[in-house]
Structure 1
Amino acid sequence: MTTRAVPGPRERLLEAAKELTYAQGVGVGVDALLKSANVARRSLYEHFGGKDGLIAEVLRLTAAEDEAAYEQTMRAAGDDPRERLLAVFDWLGEVVAAPDFRGCRYLGAELALADPDHPAHAVIRGYREHLHELFERELRALGHPQPAGAADQLVLLIDGVLAVGAIRPDSRPAAAARRLAEHTVGDRRLSTGGS
C-alpha cells in the first residue's frame, strides 16, 4: 500500500495563487486565496510574510517554468540560431491559441502593481533579463551586427504577441510577429559570413 503525500499549506497557497492570479489578476483577494488553498490566514504570513511575498514567489516559480519552456522550444528547433529564435514565435502561436490563455501574467502584474517597490517587479525584471540574454546569445551565434538591440526587439515582439493574443487572438499576433522577427533576426547568410 502506498501513501500519497498531501501538499502542505505552502504548496497549496502557491498552487491557489498561481491559478487565481492568472485567472483574475494579482488583485485577487486574500480571502479567495485562503479559501482556494484551504489554509488559515496564519499560513500565508508564516510562509510568505503576506500577499506581496506570495505573489512574488508565484512569479518566481512561473518565471522559471516559462524560461524553461522558451529554452526547450529553442532546443527542439535544432542547431540553427535563426530557426531557434523563430521557433519561439511558432510556439507562442500555440500558447495564444490555447483555450485557457489569459494573457501574460508578467505584463498583467506589472500594470496592476502600482508600488514600484513591490517585490514582484524585481522578479519580473529578472525574468525579462533572462529572456533578453537567451535571445542575445542566439543572435551573437548567428553573427548579428547588433545582438543586444535585436534582442530588445524580440522581447518587445513577444510582449506584443501576449498582449494582443489576450484581447484579439483571432488576429494571429504570433504569425505577424514572426514575420517581423524574421527581419529583426536577418537572413541565414549572417551565420555563414555572407557566403
Structure 2
Amino acid sequence: MSTSVKPGPRERLLLAAQELTYSQGVGVGVDALLKGAGVARRSLYEHFGGKDGLIAEVLRRSTAEDVERYRSTMDAAGEDPRARLLAVVDRLGLIAADPDFHGCRYLAADLALTDPEHPGHEVTRAYRRTLHGLFTDEFLALGHARPGFAADQMLILVDGLLAVGATRPGVEPAAAARDLAEHIIDAGLA
C-alpha cells in the first residue's frame, strides 16, 4: 500500500492562490487564500512575507507554465514560422472560447495591482518580454521587415483576444484575431 504525501504549506498556498487569483482575481482576500490552502496565517508570512509576495510568486510560477505552453504550441506546428505564429493565435482562440475562461491572469493582475511598485508588475513585464522575444524570433526567421514591431503587434493582438474572450460572452474573437495575425505576418514580407 502506498501513501501519498500531502504538499507542505508553501505548496498548498501556491496552489490555492494560483486557482483563486485566476477565478476571483488578485483582489481575493487573505482569509480565502488561507482557507483554500488549509494553512495558518503564519505560513503566508513565513513563506512569502505577505500577500504581495504570494501574488508575485504565483505570477512567476504561472509564467513559467504558460511560456512552456506557448513553446509547445509553436513546436507542435512544425518549423514554418508563419504556421508557428498562427498556431499560437488558434490555440488562444480555443482557450478564450472555453466557458471556464476568466481572462489573462497577467493583464488582470496589471490592471488590479494599483501600486506601480508591486512586485507582481515586474513578473508580468518579464513575461511579456519573453513572449516578445519568442514572437520576434519567429518574425526574424520569416524575414519580416520589422520583426520587433510585428512582435509588439502580436502582443497587442494576444491581449485583445484574451480580453474579449473574458469580457464579451458569446463573442468568439478567434477568427478576427487570426485574420489580424495573418495581416501582421504578411504585411512585413517582401
Shared fold (TM-score, shorter chain, > 0.5):
yes
Matched, 1:39 2:39: yes
Counterparts of 1:176 and 1:68, CA distance in 2: 25
1:166-194 C-alpha deviation (Å, 9 max, x unpaired)? 0124322122011011011117x94xxx6
1:82-134 C-alpha deviation (Å, 9 max, x unpaired)? 01001111101110111210011111110111100000000000000000000
Counterparts of 2:96 and 2:55, CA distance in 1: 23
Q: Segments of 4+ in structure 1 off by > 6 A? A: none
Q: Gapped runs of 5+ residues in structure 2?
A: none
Tell me what 2:62 maps to: 62
AA partner of residue 15 (structure 1): L
Counterparts of 2:33 and 2:91, CA distance in 1: 31
AA partner of residue 50 (structure 1): G
Counterparts of 1:73 and 1:132, CA distance in 2: 16
Tell me what 1:105 maps to: 105
AA partner of residue 56 (structure 1): A
Whether the aligned pair in 2 keeps the contact of 1:96 and 1:169 (CA below 8 Å) is no
Counterparts of 1:33 and 1:134, CA distance in 2: 33
Which residues in structure 2 correspond to 1:1-195 (within 5 Å)?
Answer: 1-186=1-186, 190=189
Cα distance, 1:34 vs. partner? 0.4
Counterparts of 1:175 and 1:130, CA distance in 2: 25
AA partner of residue 39 (structure 2): V
Counterparts of 1:61 and 1:154, CA distance in 2: 23
SS at match of 1:78: coil
Counterparts of 2:2 and 2:10, CA distance in 1: 23
SS at match of 1:171: coil
Q: TM-score, normalised by structure 1?
A: 0.94
1:2-51 C-alpha deviation (Å, 9 max, x unpaired)? 12111100010001101111111101110110011110000000000000
AA partner of residue 124 (structure 2): I
1:62-84 C-alpha deviation (Å, 9 max, x unpaired)? 11111111111100011100010
Q: Which moved more, 1:90-99 or 1:158-167?
A: 90-99
Counterparts of 2:71 and 2:169, CA distance in 1: 24
Seen in structure 2, the aligned counterparts of structure 1 residues 112 and 105 have a Cα distance that, compared at 3 Å, is same
Q: State the number of aligned residues.
A: 190
Aligned-residue Cα RMSD (Å) equals 1.3
Counterparts of 1:3 and 1:45, CA distance in 2: 29
Counterparts of 2:177 and 2:90, CA distance in 1: 10
